[in-house]
Amino acid sequence: MSGAVIGIEFAPLVPPVLLLIVASLAAALGGFSVWRRQRAALWRLLTAALLLLLLGNPSVVLEDRVSEKDIAVVLVDKSRSQSIGTRQEQTAKAADTLSKNLAQLEDLDVRYFAIDAAAAAPAGDAPGRQDGTRLFAEMSRALADIPAQRLAAVIAISDGQVHDGQAAMAGNLSAPVHVLLTGQPDEVDRFLEIKRTPAFGLVGKNTRISLHVNDRSLADGSPVQVSLSVDGGPPESFTVPANRDHDLVLTLDHGGQNIIELQVAPGRRELTLENNRKVVTINGIRDRLKVLLVSGEPHPGERAWRDVLTADPSVDLIHFTILRPREKQDGTPLRELALIAFPYRELFEMKLDEFDLVILDRYRRRGLLPRSYFNNIANYVRNGGALLEASGPSFAGPLSLNRTDLGGVFPATPSGMVLEQPFRPKRTPLGRRHPVTAGLSAANEAAGELPQWGRWLRQIDAQVTAGDVVMSGADGRPLIILDRVEEGRIAHILSDHLWLWTRGFDGGGPGLELLRRTAHWLMKEPELEENTIRAQVRGQNIDIFRRSLSGEKTPLTVTAPDGTTETITLTDRSDGLAAASIGFAGAGVYRISDGKLTALVAVGAVNPLEMLDVRATAERLQPVVAGSGGGLVWLARDGLPKLRQVAPGQRSAGNDWIGLKRNDDYTVNGVRSGPLVPAAMALLLIFAALIIAWRKESR
């Protein structure tokens, strides 16, 4: 609607302050003249008024105005929590009826905005990733291009589960915010909340996860069952108190990523079971590794062991060595001999289980250690310990450690022959697939040629009784054997010339890398397991790897977070790995299994804030509604409110209605102006008033 509006504007010919001073003086003198009853006092006042009017330079302004329609913003919450119960039906019905009612109001434009996962997710996030319902962020985007003087109201249809800014926004709004709540005002749901979880935990040490089971249908402290599973393993059950913080204690058994699933038993009243389960990821790290190195007679390779172990600042090395055999006398004065006895019993009996790795380097029976200590080492391996035996010539002789209780855990039995001849170590076909040796560089070995590694000069001949032969030596004889012994592991190197690689003899070889990989395999690092399934997220895909020594081609089953399954076949590679890549549809924990082995991979936000507490609530939106003067209505209880257009300053909500502010805003298309009194006419009037005043005075 358009029309013309007439107004008067002043453009003083002199500064306003000066005009005010002149007006004050004229009023004072005129008032004094009237009080003294002087002749022509009124005419003098009239003359002064006309003069001031002339100095004020009034003009008539004619504006051509066009009325602007008010704008109402409707926000419709379509987040995941809105799919619970009948909330979607309530939302659709309310949005449809509201649209029809708004269309009947005069001079009103309506803009609709949907709040869904795409709107909630920051740019660049993976599909399905979100951090709750960002209603206020969407409201800010909706109001960004709407003039404040035209905003009539903001109407949000939501369950009240919003997770961004709150009452601070109310003061920035020029119109009321109304909320139409879906769901029921008295909903009850049991859900699991993770209060605190460490990002890292020490392997073999206690790690605490603080959780809270919320269930307002139970009294505080009521017992509730929670199950815990690590990396898809068998679940362990705990009893925790309801509605109270509680710490669960677990022990990480390996380094790297540990995916922990927590699940609370369903309650009597549930809105959804999705928030009964939580997934946390804790990276296992090893504390300072304690390594016991037991050396025989000094030899050049002993330094190689020390260099490898002392180069790592996380390794605490205890080196037990024989610097001088007791049958050898060199005339050293007694006052220069060490008087502190070596702690044999403490190391080999009392604290043996505290070591992460025990290395026997060319050690032989010498009568220094009781036979029971060798039995302790054998039991240490069987109970989960790690042993590395680097055999020298003594292993083939009568003082061999194979003739102690350690012979029961060694994977090879000496034949009694020592091969004193140069040879180049080579990976066996199994070694090309084993993770310890598969990564060692030997470019031309696949073609059947000898690898370009330096030669070793001695090997102990032995018969393999257990384990996997990953490297061979002279005439194809076993050189390095890896084996599992009950709960523990053992690596047997049938030569004492590995140090030649570290010194660069004949071109050298990957000696340090081989020792590092062997030690990590002995300590059960997940990356070096022979038969395992691993998965990792890369962009929009999940990369799946299966390492197998046998090269089996059993299909894998991938179970998505929503329970759907997919069967995939991996492509085998020559290094013991088979791989495949699949896309994923949404966030959550994906389970990959071949029936025996299982791997878990977390994609996106596995514990979305949107699904933490799904009960409909007015608490989070009430501050904004109250601060803006709007209304809050439960659709299930109160029904859809009526609409009214109200003037600025009036109430914006009542018992059964909500108001939209009528702003009466306009734009000016054209302006015409002219003097209220032409200058010639003003001078004529002033002159006439002066003549009349003079005639009155002259009588």
Q: Confidence class of residue 135 from pLDDT cuts 50, 70 and 90?
A: confident
Q: Which residue has the higher pLDDT, 363 or 321?
A: 363
- Say yes or no: 464 and 500 in one domain: yes
Does residue 159 register a pLDDT over 90? yes
Does residue 124 register a pLDDT over 50? no
Q: Is residue 516 part of a domain?
A: yes
pLDDT digits (tens, 9 = 90+) for 173-216: 789 999 999 999 989 999 999 999 999 999 888 999 999 999 99
Section 680-690 average pLDDT: 68
- Say yes or no: 235 and 323 in one domain: no
Across 50-64, 323-337, 367-381, least confident range: 323-337
pLDDT digits (tens, 9 = 90+) for 392-418: 999 999 989 999 999 999 999 999 999
Does residue 278 register a pLDDT over 80? yes
Query: CA–CA separation, 699 vs 696, rounded Å?
Result: 6
**DSSP per-residue codes, 569-638:** -PEE-TTSEEEEEEE--SSEEEEEE-SS-EEEEEES-SS-GGGT--S--STTTHHHHHHHT--EEEHHHH
pLDDT score for 609: 85
Q: Of 455, 490, 522, which residue constitutes the final position of a domain?
A: 522
Does residue 257 register a pLDDT over 80? yes
Domain with residue 280: its CATH number is: 2.60.40.10
Q: Confidence class of residue 120 from pLDDT cuts 50, 70 and 90?
A: very low
In 3D, which of 196, 261, 197, 264 has the Cα closest to residue 226? 264
Q: Confidence class of residue 325 from pLDDT cuts 50, 70 and 90?
A: low
Q: Which residue has the higher pLDDT, 518 or 670?
A: 518
Find the domain containing 400 and state its range: 289-327+340-522
Q: Which pair of tokens denotes residue 666?
A: 């306009």
Does residue 242 register a pLDDT over 60? yes
Q: Is residue 609 part of a domain?
A: no
Place of tokens 């370009």: 452
- Say yes or no: 498 and 371 in one domain: yes
pLDDT score for 5: 62
pLDDT score for 676: 66
Does residue 508 register a pLDDT over 70? yes
- Say yes or no: 397 and 294 in one domain: yes
Looking only at the bridges linking them, the beta strands covering 151-158 and 177-181 are parallel
Across 23-27, 144-148, 634-638, 647-651, least confident range: 23-27
- Return the bridge partners of 29, or none: none
Does residue 264 register a pLDDT over 70? yes
Q: Is residue 204 part of a domain?
A: yes
Does residue 423 register a pLDDT over 90? yes
Number of folded domains in the chain? 5
Section 74-92 average pLDDT: 92
- Say yes or no: 423 and 538 in one domain: no
Torsion of CA 436, 439, 440, 442, to 10 degrees: 140
Across 235-239, 240-244, 327-331, 356-360, least confident range: 327-331
Query: CA–CA separation, 520 vs 523, rounded Å?
Result: 5
On whether the CB atoms of residues 201 and 284 are closer than 8 A, the answer is yes
Q: Is 235 helix (H, G, I), strand (E, B) or coil?
A: coil
Section 275-302 average pLDDT: 87
Does residue 391 register a pLDDT over 80? yes
Q: Which pair of tokens denotes residue 259?
A: 């995916």
Q: Is residue 293 part of a domain?
A: yes
Q: Of 221, 254, 286, which residue constitutes the final position of a domain?
A: 286
Q: How long a stretch of residues is the chain?
A: 699
- Say yes or no: 55 and 110 in one domain: no
Does residue 290 register a pLDDT over 70? yes
Q: Is residue 106 part of a domain?
A: yes
Radius of gyration of the chain (CA): 44
Query: CA–CA separation, 50 vs 71, rounded Å?
Result: 47
- Say yes or no: 47 and 73 in one domain: no
- Say yes or no: 374 and 356 in one domain: yes
Section 342-351 average pLDDT: 82
pLDDT score for 500: 92
Does residue 127 register a pLDDT over 50? no
Domain with residue 365: its CATH number is: 3.40.50.880
**DSSP per-residue codes, 546-565:** EE-SS-----EEEE-TTS-E
- Return the bridge partners of 295, or none: 361
- Say yes or no: 406 and 537 in one domain: no
pLDDT score for 697: 63
**DSSP per-residue codes, 391-454:** --GGGGSTT-GGGSGGGGT-SEEEEEEEE-S-B--EE-TTTTTSHHHHTS--TTGGGTSPPS-P
- Say yes or no: 183 and 123 in one domain: yes
Q: Confidence class of residue 153 from pLDDT cuts 50, 70 and 90?
A: very high
The dihedrals phi and psi of 174, each to the nearest 5 degrees, come to: -100, 5
Q: Give the mean pLDDT of the chain.
A: 84
In 3D, which of 254, 58, 53, 107 has the Cα closest to residue 662? 107
Section 229-258 average pLDDT: 91
Q: Is residue 334 part of a domain?
A: no
Q: Which residue has the higher pLDDT, 159 or 682?
A: 159
- Say yes or no: 78 and 200 in one domain: no
Residues of the chain with pLDDT > 70, as a percent, come to 82
Place of tokens 């037990």: 320
Q: Is residue 594 part of a domain?
A: yes
pLDDT score for 451: 64
Q: Is 600 helix (H, G, I), strand (E, B) or coil?
A: strand
Q: Of 578, 603, 628, which residue constitutes the final position of a domain?
A: 603
Section 541-564 average pLDDT: 87
- Say yes or no: 318 and 374 in one domain: yes
Q: Is residue 335 part of a domain?
A: no
For the entire predicted model, the pTM comes to: 0.74
On whether the CB atoms of residues 569 and 580 are closer than 8 A, the answer is yes
Q: Confidence class of residue 76 from pLDDT cuts 50, 70 and 90?
A: very high
Does residue 585 register a pLDDT over 60? yes
Query: CA–CA separation, 179 vs 634, rounded Å?
Result: 9
pLDDT digits (tens, 9 = 90+) for 446-476: 445 556 799 999 999 999 999 999 999 999 9
